[in-house]
C-alpha cells in the first residue's frame, strides 16, 4: 500500500544528514511511496502554513550524497513543550505540531536526531499517536545502543587532519600545540582523533587530570629530543579546580568553549614551552561526509523506511557489529554513552604512552 512519510533533521547538524535523506527517498521511491521533507526540525510544523515539501527522486541523483549540512534545515533550540515566546514566557506548542502533522496526512515520520531531540520527538509522537522511527546522528557519538552515529566519523577525520596540519608548524617553531575539539560531555572525538593524530596528551571529561601530570608528560617529550608536543582537549574538560569553561551567547544560551586556552596557558607556565591553541569548533560539523558516514547514513536511511514498511515504530536504527539493527528509542535515550574507563581505546591510548592526564 502506498504511503506518505515525513522526514526531518533535528538538533545540531553534522556531515551525512543529506546522505540519510537521499537513502530514504530512494528506498521509498522503490516502494512507490512519497516522502515529504519538514523544514527546520519541528519548527516547520509550528508555521502557518506548515513548512514542508515533497522530495522528488530527481533531486537526489547528483551531489546531495557528498554535501555537508542538511537540505531540510535544523534547529537545536525551542523545545515545543516549553517554547520561548517573544515576551519571554514559555508556551506548550506541542498541539500545534501534532495538528499540522495530521493535516499533512503523513503515515509516519523519520526523525534524524540526537538523544536530546529524540526525547522531545518521542514525547510528541506518544502524545499525538504519531508513528516515528529514529536515525541517530551526532558528532559527539554519545547515543546509546549504537556503535556509530552519523557525523562522528567525519568530525574525527577533521580533528585528525587538524593534528596533521598542526604537527609540521609545531615542529618548525618548537611549540606545543593544544587542539580543543567538540563533543559536549563525551570525549569520543578527542580520544579517537588524539590516537589517530599522534597526540602526546588527550584530556577528556570522563577522566580527571592534574596539570602536574600533563606538564610532566610534555617535559618528558621535550627532554627526549623531540621539539614539539600535541595536546587534544575535549571542550567539556573542566579546570583543575572543577570549573566549566562556557561562553554565553547574546541569546543567553551557554555553550562549551575556552578550556583549550586555559590548558595552553598552564602548559606554558608549567613547562616553559611556547604554546599555541586552536579551537576547532564547527568545522567538525561542516565538511563533506567521509565514506564511512555516507555508508552508515545510507544503511540507516534504507532500514528506517523498511521499519515503516514492517509497521515497526518507536524504534531507532543502530549500527552493531557492522550491521544495521533496530532498538527501542527509549533504550537508546536511556543508555547515554560517554567514554567508559574500560573502553579499549582508553587502553590503546595508555599502551601507546599517551597521557590521559591522570598518571
Ligand atoms: O552536539 C553537537 C555539538 O556540536 C557539540 O559537540 C557542541 O558542544 C554543540 O553541538 C555546539 O552547539 P551549537 O551548534 O549550538 O554551537
Under 8 Å between Cβ of 348 and 195 = yes
- Whether residue 357 lies inside any domain: the answer is no
Rounded Cα distance between 8 and 49, Å, is 17
Atom of ligand 1 nearest to the CA of 253: 15
Domain that holds residue 102: 4-150+289-320
Cα of 201 to ligand 1 centre, how many Å?
Answer: 23
Q: Does residue 325 sit within a domain?
A: no
Domain membership flag for residue 18: yes
The finding on whether 15 has its CB within 6 A of some atom of ligand 1 is no
Q: 204 by DSSP, 3-state: which?
A: coil
Enumerate residue ranges in the chain where pLDDT < 70.
Answer: none
Let me know whether 145 and 160 are in one domain.
no
CA of 353 to the centre of ligand 1 (A): 30
Residues 142 and 164 in one domain: no
| CB contact set of 258 (below 8 Å; sequence gap of 6+) | 180, 245, 246, 247, 279
DSSP E strands in the chain: the ranges are 4-9, 34-38, 52-54, 83-84, 90-91, 108-113, 132-136, 175-181, 201-203, 229-234, 246-248, 254-256, 274-279, 315-320, 323-328
Residue nearest to atom 6 of ligand 1 (CA): 183
Model pLDDT, residue 61:
79
Which residues are catalytic, by number? 140
Whose CA is closest to 42, among 89, 77, 17? 77
In the reported structure, the alpha carbon of residue 219 is separated from the centroid of ligand 1 by a whole-number distance in angstroms of 33
Q: Are residues 64 and 134 in the same domain?
A: yes
336: in domain: no
Q: Is the CB of 77 under 6 A from ligand 1?
A: no
CA 248 to the chain's CA centroid: 21
Distance 75 CA to ligand 1 centre (A): 11
Q: How high is the pLDDT of residue 294?
A: 98
pLDDT of residue 103: 95
d(CA 59, CA 215): 53
Cα of 192 vs centre of ligand 1, distance in Å, is: 18
- What digits encode the pLDDT tens for the residues 7-45? 999 999 999 999 999 999 999 999 999 999 999 999 999
Same domain, 303 and 263: no
Q: Are 218 and 200 in contact (CB under 8 A)?
A: yes
Best of 78, 113, 140, 159 for a ligand 1 pocket test (most atoms within 8 Å of beta carbon): 140
Q: Ligand 1 pocket: which of 188, 255, 260, 286 to mutate (most atoms <8 Å of CB)?
A: 255
Whether 331 is in a domain gets the answer no
- Both 206 and 226 in one domain: the answer is yes
Nearest CA residue ID for atom 9, ligand 1: 184
Residues 119 and 223 in one domain: no
Span from the CA of 235 to the centroid of ligand 1 (angstroms): 10
Are the C-beta atoms of residues 213 and 358 closer than 8 Å to each other? yes
- Determine whether 139 is exposed, middle or buried from the number of CB atoms within 10 Å of its CB (0-12, 13-18, 19+): buried
Whether 116 is covered by a domain: the verdict is yes
> CA 109: distance to chain centroid?
21
Q: Is residue 239 part of a domain?
A: yes
Taking only the tens place, the pLDDT of each residue in 42-82 is 999 999 999 999 999 999 977 999 999 999 999 999 899 99
> Which residue carries 627532554 as its cell?
223
Tell me: cis bond preceding 49? Omega within 30 of 0 counts: yes
Query: For residue 251, which of 10, 40, 77 has the smallest C-alpha distance?
Result: 77
Q: Does 128 share its domain with 159?
A: no
Residues 6+ apart with CB under 8 A from 207: 187, 339, 341, 346, 356, 357, 358
Tell me the CATH number at 36. 3.40.50.450
| Atom of ligand 1 minimally distant from the CA of 285 | 4
Calpha distance 349→65 (Å, rounded): 34
Question: Is 12 touching ligand 1 by the criterion CB < 6 Å?
Answer: yes
Find out whether the beta carbon of 255 lies less than 6 Å from any atom of ligand 1: yes
- In a domain? residue 326: no
Q: Is 338 in the pocket of ligand 1 (CB under 6 A)?
A: no
Residues 28, 121, single domain; the answer is yes
- How far, in Å, CA of 43 to CA of 11, rounded? 11
Amino acid at each position: 500500500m502506498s504511503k506518505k512519510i515525513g522526514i526531518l533533521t533535528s538538533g545540531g547538524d553534522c556531515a551525512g544528514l543529506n546522505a540519510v535523506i537521499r537513502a530514504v527517498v530512494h528506498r521509498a521511491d522503490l516502494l512507490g511511496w512519497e516522502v515529504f521533507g519538514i523544514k527546520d526540525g519541528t519548527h516547520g510544523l509550528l508555521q502557518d502554513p506548515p513548512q514542508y515539501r515533497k522530495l522528488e527522486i530527481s533531486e537526489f541523483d547528483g551531489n546531495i550524497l557528498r554535501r555537508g549540512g542538511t537540505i531540510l534545515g535544523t534547529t537545536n533550540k525551542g523545545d515545543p513543550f516549553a517554547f520561548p515566546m517573544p515576551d519571554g514566557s514559555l508556551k506548550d506548542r506541542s498541539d500545534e505540531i501534532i495538528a499540522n502533522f495530521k493535516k499533512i496526512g503523513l503515515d509516519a515520520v523519520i526523525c534524524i536526531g540526537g538523544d536530546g531531540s529524540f526525547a522531545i520527538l518521542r514525547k510528541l509522537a506518544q502524545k499525538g499517536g504519531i508513528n516515528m522511527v529514529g536515525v541517530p546522528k551526532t558528532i559527539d557519538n554519545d547515543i546509546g545502543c549504537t556503535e556509530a552515529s552519523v557525523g562522528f566519523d567525519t568530525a574525527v577525520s577533521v580533528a585528525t587532519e587538524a593534528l596533521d596540519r598542526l604537527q609540521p608548524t609545531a615542529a618548525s617553531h618548537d611549540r606545543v600545540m593544544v587542539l580543543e575539539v567538540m563533543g559536549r560531555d563525551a570525549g569520543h572525538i578527542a580520544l579517537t582523533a588524539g590516537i589517530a593524530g599522534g597526540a602526546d596528551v588527550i584530556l577528556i571529561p570522563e577522566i580527571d587530570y592534574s596539570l602536574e601530570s600533563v606538564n610532566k608528560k610534555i617535559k618528558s617529550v621535550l627532554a627526549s629530543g623531540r621539539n614539539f608536543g600535541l595536546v587534544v582537549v575535549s571542550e567539556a574538560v573542566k579546570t583543575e579546580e572543577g570549573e566549566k569553561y562556557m561562553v554565553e551567547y547574546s541569546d543567553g544560551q551557554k555553550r562549551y568553549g575556552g578550556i583549550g586556552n586555559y590548558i595552553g596557558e598552564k602548559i606554558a607556565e608549567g613547562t616553559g614551552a611556547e604554546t599555541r591553541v586552536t579551537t576547532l569548533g564547527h568545522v567538525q560539523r561542516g565538511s563533506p561526509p567521509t565514506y564511512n558516514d555516507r555508508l552508515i547514513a545510507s544503511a540507516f536511511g534504507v532500514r528506517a523506511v523498511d521499519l515503516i514498511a514492517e509497521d515497526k515504530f518507536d524504534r531507532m536504527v543502530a549500527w552493531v557489529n557492522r550491521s544495521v539493527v533496530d532498538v527501542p528509542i527509549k533504550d537508546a535515550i536511556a543508555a547515554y554513552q560517554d567514554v567508559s574507563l574500560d573502553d579499549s581505546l582508553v587502553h590503546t591510548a595508555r599502551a601507546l604512552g599517551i597521557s590521559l592526564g591522570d598518571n
